[in-house]
Structure 1
Amino acid sequence: MQKISCQVSKIEPLTNVVSRVLLTPESPLEFIAGQYLQVVMGDEDKRPFSIANAPQQDGAIELHIGAEPGNQYAGQVLEKMRSEGKIEVEGGLGEAFLKKVGGHPIILVAGGTGFSYTLSILQKLLSEPLTAPVYLYWGTRTLKDMYALDELTKLSEQHAHFTFVPVIEIPDSDWQGKTGWVHNAVLDEFNDLKDFKVFVAGRFEMAKVVRTDFCAQGLLEKNLYGDAYAFI
């Protein structure tokens, strides 16, 4: 495992509770799209966050950190970054990274800031011509929480084999898209998931339901990836 000091290049708001953090490592952090890092707060205090970008030549690292009021776990990390201007991280970690997909269609399922995990994988997939369909289903509570809506809509227009499906739990009256829980939107669209590879990130409760319901609809468990499954 690599332990690297990073300069905090930028912290900017994506929503009123989610911040985009750009880190510049003093030496390259080796990772695969879909892996995560740990921010070192102390010898026994290391806090995991998904890396929100695929590996790139300049070595930059992007994080999307959600820190709702009262969330000291994430809030203290942002406070340390702002006050000190640098941070130590460890990575790349996790076994739910992008693996060879062998022509299988791919479904990326994200809840909330779990989107950062799927964004890393999506960037890597779109860096080369797609040979099979890729679907991204991203669920948020409200439309305001879906901070990359325009970016993903443009990507879906630029790449014929990429489909983006936003899902809003509490929609405005004029919302015309999918509503409810994000995993149900997938189940509504695909009657048989046996040919798919699925990458999922969100709350543990969501990941557990995805595993149960998707496998009942034909998904092979060996083709389901998510860091949560190391714990549940």
Structure 2
Amino acid sequence: MPVALVTGGSAGLGRALVHSLADDGWTVVTDARDPEALAAAVRGLDAVVPVAGDVADPAHRQALTREVEWLGRLDLLVHNASTLGPLPLRPLRDVTERQLLDTWRTNAAAPAALTAQLLPRLTASAGTLVAITSDAAVEHYETWGAYAAGKAALEHLTLTTAAEEGVRAYVVDPGDLRTRMHQDAFPGEDISDRPEPESVVPALRALLAAAPPSGRYRAADYADRAGDLAGASR
């Protein structure tokens, strides 16, 4: 039975991916900062191991690593947990050094540290490393600087790990989604025109199935392949 670790599994894309993998017979370790939200998100999924905590906390990363070690393998590591930084979003001149560091710790340093801890299991299983990124990592949007810089760092760290370790790694831009985080970025605005997170999961799974070379990918580019795979499975 393949094993995945997906951070940030209580809501949004993380929750949708956890459900998709579990439905396909994977064992999934997942986490979130809110224990109640995490428990509700994985209720009824027998093959999911919830571990409440903050990925920026070294003790929590050790707890995740222990669960993976107990399972004995790691076929997929997905860094999905992230933070927008201080809210409401603001120009960089109004972001303090502490706020920058806290944002980057969650969005870049913590995923890099967790990857390093899990590399032996990931490489032993010929597994895949995935970092969920954003177009903000390569564009320059007003008030998104702290978040965007963290995502840019995450991309570089992930693909440098691929170059150094020989592990297959993808940074994946899922596009704008109808999530709580996206709503937090646009308080009071109607974001109902954004697609639901579940709509992106087939494209992400299609990317994983296609196993292209390590690199940066957009989920939208694999939407057609997702349809082909769904048709082939019927």
TM score, norm. by length of structure 1: 0.34
Higher helix residue share: 2
Higher strand residue share: 1
